[in-house]
Amino acid sequence: MKRAKRPSRTRVREHTRELRRAINLMDFVASGTIHKRTKVCGRQNCRCATDPGARHGPYYEWSRRQDGRLVHSIITPAQAELFNHAIQNYREIQRLLGRWERETAKEVLNPGSQKDT
């Protein structure tokens, strides 16, 4: 009877080296979304009450889940740019972790397989 090969941590490390390197290069990471809004001030004699093009803003808001609750923060345009970058990084990390998970499963279920995806 043929003995099954044991999964190799070394092979997983080799296959996931580029994933770990990509994650390591990221600086800011954040979940959530950025909203760009304009608002009506509520004064009846203000132009924004009748002209949608004259609304105040734009104002930026970062929305995310924190401790199971939806949280919103008003942020500056510069902060919005940083958060957009951080959110892109977060999504890339999620994609890379999915790939890492598939590499792990492939090695554990089929130890020593040479097939790379």
Over residues 30-84, the pLDDT tens digits come to: 999 999 999 999 898 999 988 989 999 999 999 999 999 999 999 999 999 999 9
Confidence at residue 111, expressed as pLDDT on a 0 to 100 scale: 78
Q: How many CA atoms lie within 13 A of 4 on its CB side?
A: 7
pTM score over 0.85: no
| C-alpha to C-alpha distance for 41 and 28, rounded to whole angstroms | 34
Residues paired with residue 62 on neighbouring β-strands, in sequence order: 34, 73
Kindly compute the dihedral angle of the four CA atoms of residues 3, 4, 9, 14, in this order, to the nearest 10 degrees: 110
Span between the terminal Cα atoms of the chain, in Å: 30
Alpha helix (H) ranges present in the chain?
Answer: 9-24, 77-109
Rounded CA-CA distance 22/54 in Å is 44
From the number of C-beta atoms within 10 Å of its C-beta (0-12, 13-18, 19+), residue 62 rates as buried
Q: Which of 16, 38, 11 is nearest to 99 (CA)?
A: 16
pLDDT of residue 15: 77
